[in-house]
Amino acid sequence: MFYREAGQFKVSYAADQAIFPIRQDQIGMAMILAVAYVVMPVAGSEYWLETIMIPFLVFSLAAIGLNILTGYAGQLSLGTGAFMACGAFAAYKLTTAFPDLNIIVALLLSGVAAAAVGIVFGLPSLRIKGFYLAVATLAAQFFLIWLFAKVPWFTNYSASGVISAPPRAVVGELYVTGVHATPQARYLFCLTLVAVLALLAKNMVRSSIGRQWMAIRDMDIAAEIIGIRPLRTKLSAFAISSFYCGVAGALWAFFYTGTVEPGAFDINRSFQILYMIIIGGLGSILGAFLGAGFIVLLPIVLSRLPLMLGLPISTATISHIEVMVFGTLIVFFLIVEPHGLARLWRIFKEKLRLWPFPY
Amino acid sequence: MAALDQAETPDADTREIGDVLLRVDRISLYFGGVRALNNISFEVREHEILAIIGPNGAGKSSMLNVINGFYHPQEGTITYRGKTRSRMRPYQAAAQGIARTFQNIALFKGMSTLDNIMTGRLLKMHQPFWMQALYWGPAQREEIEHRKFCEEIIDFLEIQHIRKTPVGRLPYGLQKRVELGRALAAQPTLLLLDEPMAGMNVEEKEDMCRFILDINEEFGTTIALIEHDMGVVMDISDRVVVLDYGRKLADGPPDSVRSDPAVVSAYLGVGHD
Amino acid sequence: MEGFLSDIFIAPFVSMWEYPVFLVEVLVGGLLVGVMYSLVALGFVLIFKASGVFNFAQGAMVLFAALFFAGFLEAGMPVWLALGASAVVMVALAIVTERVVLRPLVNQPPIVLFMATIGLTFFLDGFGQMIWGSDIKVIDIGIPKEPLEIHGVLINSFDIVAGVTAGLLVAGLALFFHYTKIGRALRAVADDHQAALSVGIPLQSIWVIVWSVAGLVALVAGIMWGSSLGVQFSLALVALKALPVLILGGFTSIPGAIVGGLIIGASEKIGEVYWGPALGGAIEDWHAYMIAMVFLLFRPQGLFGEKIIERV
């Protein structure tokens, strides 16, 4: 009824290639941005902003990163946590070594640092594929986390190994990290950065570089025969993916937890991000957001559900049940829709176009 | 197809077989102890359609794989456009203007028809990735300019209605056509077709023959194809090379090959098509 | 810096030369840890061979089996009954897994099945601990733990039992795979699902069998690991070490799993004892993965894997 594209004619390729070619989608996106920028900071409580929205944004960014590598370029990685840690520690070293460096520049540079590490650990991808590569990325995961924990230079020789992120302002006195930063400021900063980076990612995946990634994913031999250089393409996916993960890691440490510690980026973090892209949808930028939202909200709902129902269950049991439900849901999702929430959303839209008629 | 004409062939309709484009000289290829190609030599001339025929396992596909750099022969040389090539990777062959299609369709299954063809165009796209990420100015212009080109190929192959369909969902005949489109997008000098008509019905074969002849005539693209359907081969090719058990049996115009006693004895009783 | 370089390049070898008995002890200890890795890797290889599924849940199955075994023992069952009951649990798990997870996902790409086994991992971790709690459990089934002295080298007798058990298990499986009808069917399924189906091999019951066997292997591994380390959540993490073992050995080779396990176990122990202190310790965390990764660069198909010939 209200979701029809009838009457909207595209007269140029530019219009046809737009991210949201249908007007209703453009309006929808504008509304989402309005809610995110206006309603959330005004109406959202500190709890909402700090424990739901900021981690949601950070996870979304990391999931975009992993989705570029795994969903688009088809290189399975279990080392996301390590690349996030690279970004977090790079940001810490940069901000402490150059106190005058703008936080935005510091964040982007830490992404670049993570990208460099990503390239190194992506080198084996030329010779090894699939699950073998996944295990090789575990080497990055365990080695890098060990490195950050063992080499005191990374923590500026702090005794405990846990360090807090220094306060930094975007401009003037507008602090976005550290104790002076209001949740609203931190949230809006993350939101803007994530929105911009997501847009750039979307642009990449619909351009030549994105098509090269997908070609390598779908059939690497044919890709090489039509002129794609496998190593360069795979490494570019590793680099850009690690850039996104690195920035996400830096955001995690500076804007979410406020502390930089290797333990936050262990193997479980890698898996968590992997679930996000599975549940959200491999090879979809929207899917990264949907998956991140799902994984952030699920434990909160699960932990509150027994309380709301008035069931007397111990917290230990709840955490076990949580893990169980989590596993079940993953299997369930894979069976129902291996392409994730993003595909479900598309099917829903296709149905909505015809609604109220069945076809 | 105005853009295509201008780009590649100013003398489109005056097709003339020209000089040697590719010379294969005494190529031998082994897999372990198996000799897949045995001392094969032949030439591909500019603007011609060369058919490579032979029974299954004769080494036809291996020959194409050698030409576009996927297999590296142990002996012999390949001279392309006057340059004898050393060991090379397939993407280098692509950069020199060699495109191909595959016997078992090798499309990018997760992508749409349009994206597949656009991917075939990638060697002509030069914007750096950060410009692509911004999708603005030159990057957007480049994307649209090549989209136009790909739309022309789509028109040429009559696949407008499926341009946004994921290729995995398409029927076999259309997939073959999309794959041809992807190879054409690179504006190749030499087009290698590995059984372009295998598994097709008569109508689809006719369409495909028409496309092949049009490509050859309008753009002057040199074509080397493998095909089992002898009727098709005799009709469309300028010259035929016959392989059997890795050896070359005959090489010449269709009529002389047809009456070659060696070819007849190799084919008689085999019952090909 | 000089001291550091000497600690890396000179001191370890000097120490090995000077105290050969200690080196042998470290080596033997490492090999026997390696046997444990092999046991986990073995279950994995079985499933990968027969169904092409990269079963990430093998480690969780080890923990799951150990939890049930320890739980049954605590409940007062005699060892043989606990063993039987846990075996029944593992077979039941195989049946349920086939029915609920594998069957609906048949013909999906390998990555989907892999991710499904990650889901299974979570389910098993949560389920096992929900039933039996997350406290550390002790398994004591009377395996002697006294050190034995052989030619001046101290070896834990428990390790010897573990080694012998693993050896028997492998020999049994190898015979099973090569000389029984089921074994032949398993290999056929591994080669090509559709071809196997078309000659009348019942795919689903084959999967149940192979997951059951993998479950039983996990049970043996769980009892062994549990007896030496106690049954606790970290077992599932130790089991991750089976992955580099697989890379070394190749995903489809039973002897590869064993040899790979031994190499990883031994090199890990030697690395930790001789190089660990200079590097800050706990290099066991990543050592195995690094070895595996470097190894892969030179031999992508593993020690015993079949050479991959790419075709178009």
Reported as a single tens digit per residue, the pLDDT across C51-84 is: 778 888 988 999 999 999 999 988 888 888 999 9
> How close, in Å, is residue A295 to chain B by CA atoms?
26
Tell me which chain B residue has its CA closest to the CA of residue A283: B110
Handedness of CA C21, C23, C29, C35 (dihedral sign): negative
Q: Where are the beta strands (DSSP E) in chain C?
A: 147-150, 153-156
Closest partner residue to A327 (CB to CB) among C109, C119, C286 is C119
- Cα separation values, C173 from A31, B159, C188, C206, C256, Å: 62, 55, 16, 15, 14
Among C58, C49, C12, C31, smallest CA distance to C235 is for C58
Q: A-chain residues within 8 Å CB-CB of B135? A: 203, 206-207
Residues B90, A225: C-beta atoms closer than 8 Å: yes
Residues A334, C54: C-beta atoms closer than 8 Å: no
> CA–CA separation, C306 vs C312, rounded Å?
19
Provide the residue type at A351 as one letter: K
Instruction: Answer for the pair A143, C271: CB distance below 8 angstroms, yes or no.
Output: no
Residues C126, A338: C-beta atoms closer than 8 Å: no
- In chain B, what is the straight-line distance between the N-terminal and C-terminal CA atoms, in Å? 35
**Mean pLDDT across A213-229:** 91
**Residue written as token pair 């570019």:** A236
The encoded tokens of residue C155 equal 């070896």
> CA–CA separation, C10 vs A48, rounded Å?
57
> CA–CA separation, B262 vs A264, rounded Å?
73
3-state SS, C118-176, equals HHHHHHHHHHHHHHHCCCCECCCCCCCCCEEEECCEEEEHHHHHHHHHHHHHHHHHHHH
Residues B65, C309: C-beta atoms closer than 8 Å: no
Q: A-chain residues within 8 Å CB-CB of C281? A: 150
**Mean pLDDT across C14-22:** 79
Q: B-chain residues within 8 Å CB-CB of C312? A: 61, 65, 70, 102, 106
**Where is average pLDDT lowest: A3-17, B88-102, B134-148?**
A3-17
Beta bridge partners of C231: C137
Beta bridge partners of B84: B79
**Residue written as token pair 């459990």:** C137
Predicted local distance difference test score (pLDDT) of residue A329 = 84
Instruction: Answer for the pair A85, A283: CB distance below 8 angstroms, yes or no.
Output: no
Residues C312, B65: C-beta atoms closer than 8 Å: yes
Residues B143, A283: C-beta atoms closer than 8 Å: no
**Mean pLDDT across C132-152:** 75
Predicted local distance difference test score (pLDDT) of residue C146 = 73
Dihedral pair phi/psi, residue A103, rounded to 5°: -60, -35
Predicted local distance difference test score (pLDDT) of residue C181 = 83
Residues B129, A236: C-beta atoms closer than 8 Å: yes
- Residue C297 in contact with partner chain B when CB distance is under 8 A: no
3-class DSSP state for residue B155? helix
Please, which pLDDT band fits residue A117 given cuts at 50, 70 and 90?
very high
- All structural domains of chain B with their residue ranges: 1-97+191-273, 106-186
Tell me which chain A residue has its CA closest to the CA of residue B115: A211
3-class DSSP state for residue B192? strand
The encoded tokens of residue C285 equal 């965390």
Predicted local distance difference test score (pLDDT) of residue A112 = 97
What share of chain C in percent tops pLDDT 90? 12
Chain A interface mutation, best of C102, C111, C117, highest count of A Cβ atoms under 10 Å: C111
**Mean pLDDT across A195-210:** 95
Dihedral pair phi/psi, residue C133, rounded to 5°: 80, 170
The encoded tokens of residue B269 equal 């009783």
Predicted confidence (pLDDT) per residue in A39-84, tens digit: 888 888 888 888 899 999 999 999 999 999 999 999 989 999 999 9
Chain A interface mutation, best of B108, B115, B160, highest count of A Cβ atoms under 10 Å: B108
Flag whether pLDDT at A115 surpasses 90. Answer: yes
Predicted local distance difference test score (pLDDT) of residue B8 = 43
Residues B102, C309: C-beta atoms closer than 8 Å: no
Please, which pLDDT band fits residue B10 given cuts at 50, 70 and 90?
very low
Tell me which chain B residue has its CA closest to the CA of residue C307: B32
The encoded tokens of residue A324 equal 């169980």
Residues C130, A146: C-beta atoms closer than 8 Å: no
The encoded tokens of residue A30 equal 């504008």
Q: What fold does the segment set B1-97+191-273 form as a domain?
A: Rossmann fold (3.40.50)
Predicted local distance difference test score (pLDDT) of residue C305 = 63
- All structural domains of chain A with their residue ranges: 41-354
Residues A204, B111: C-beta atoms closer than 8 Å: no
Closest partner residue to C297 (CB to CB) among A124, A131, A323 is A124
Query: Of the spans B40-44, C130-134, C234-238, which averages the highest pLDDT?
Result: B40-44
Please, which pLDDT band fits residue C1 given cuts at 50, 70 and 90?
low
Chain A interface mutation, best of C238, C293, C311, highest count of A Cβ atoms under 10 Å: C293
> CA–CA separation, A262 vs A161, rounded Å?
8
Chain B interface mutation, best of A10, A207, A238, highest count of B Cβ atoms under 10 Å: A207
> How close, in Å, is residue A313 to chain B by CA atoms?
46
- Cα separation values, C214 from B112, B240, C28, C43, Å: 41, 57, 27, 4
3-state SS, A233-251, equals HHHHHHHHHHHHHHHHHHH
Among C82, C77, C68, C81, smallest CA distance to C130 is for C68
Predicted local distance difference test score (pLDDT) of residue C158 = 79
Residues A131, C134: C-beta atoms closer than 8 Å: no
Flag whether pLDDT at B167 surpasses 80. Answer: yes
Q: C-chain residues within 8 Å CB-CB of B72? A: none
3-class DSSP state for residue B125? coil
- Cα separation values, B69 from B85, B122, B180, C44, Å: 10, 19, 19, 38
Burial (CB count <10 Å: 0-12, 13-18, 19+), residue A47: exposed
Residues of A with CB under 8 A from a CB of B: 12-14, 17, 200-201, 203-204, 206-212, 214-215, 217-219, 221-230, 236, 240, 283
Q: A-chain residues within 8 Å CB-CB of C98? A: none
Flag whether pLDDT at B67 surpasses 70. Answer: yes
Predicted local distance difference test score (pLDDT) of residue A161 = 65
- Name which CATH class applies to C2-298: mainly alpha
> CA–CA separation, B96 vs B80, rounded Å?
9
- Residue B30 in contact with partner chain C when CB distance is under 8 A: no
Closest partner residue to A13 (CB to CB) among B110, B123, B147 is B147
Predicted local distance difference test score (pLDDT) of residue C44 = 87
A7-16 own/partner pairs: CB under 8 Å, 24+ apart? A12/B144, A13/B144, A13/B147, A13/B148, A13/B151, A14/B140, A14/B144
Q: B-chain residues within 8 Å CB-CB of A225? A: 68, 70, 90-91, 93-94, 100, 106
Find the length of chain B.
Answer: 273
> How close, in Å, is residue A18 to chain C by CA atoms?
31
B90-95 own/partner pairs: CB under 8 Å, 24+ apart? B90/A221, B90/A224, B90/A225, B91/A224, B91/A225, B91/A227, B91/A228, B91/A229, B91/A230, B93/A225, B93/B67, B93/B68, B93/B69, B94/A225, B94/A226, B94/A227, B94/B68, B94/B123, B94/B186, B95/A227, B95/B123
DSSP B243: E
Contacts of C216 (CB under 8 A, 6+ apart): C87, C90, C91
Chain A interface mutation, best of B103, B109, B132, highest count of A Cβ atoms under 10 Å: B132
Q: Within 10 A of B104 (CB to CB), how many other CB atoms are there?
A: 11
> How close, in Å, is residue C24 to chain A by CA atoms?
27
- Cα separation values, A313 from A309, C132, C229, Å: 11, 15, 30
**Mean pLDDT across B205-232:** 91
Handedness of CA C303, C305, C307, C310 (dihedral sign): negative
Predicted confidence (pLDDT) per residue in A291-338, tens digit: 999 989 888 887 777 777 777 777 777 778 888 888 888 888 888 887
pTM: 0.89
Q: Within 10 A of A100 (CB to CB), how many other CB atoms are there?
A: 6
- Cα separation values, A25 from A4, A28, B128, B131, Å: 10, 5, 29, 25
Q: Within 13 Å, how many C-alpha atoms sit on residue A331's CB side?
A: 25
> CA–CA separation, C137 vs A260, rounded Å?
34
The mean of the pLDDT values for chain C is 82
> CA–CA separation, A257 vs A346, rounded Å?
35
Residues B107, A219: C-beta atoms closer than 8 Å: yes
Instruction: Answer for the pair A83, A101: CB distance below 8 angstroms, yes or no.
Output: no
Give the ipTM: 0.87
Residues C119, A316: C-beta atoms closer than 8 Å: no
- Residue B31 in contact with partner chain C when CB distance is under 8 A: yes
Q: What fold does the segment set A41-354 form as a domain?
A: ABC transporter involved in vitamin B12 uptake, BtuC (1.10.3470)
Residue C33 C-alpha from the chain's centroid = 11
3-class DSSP state for residue B98? strand
Flag whether pLDDT at A279 surpasses 50. Answer: yes
Residues C312, B31: C-beta atoms closer than 8 Å: no
Predicted local distance difference test score (pLDDT) of residue C307 = 60
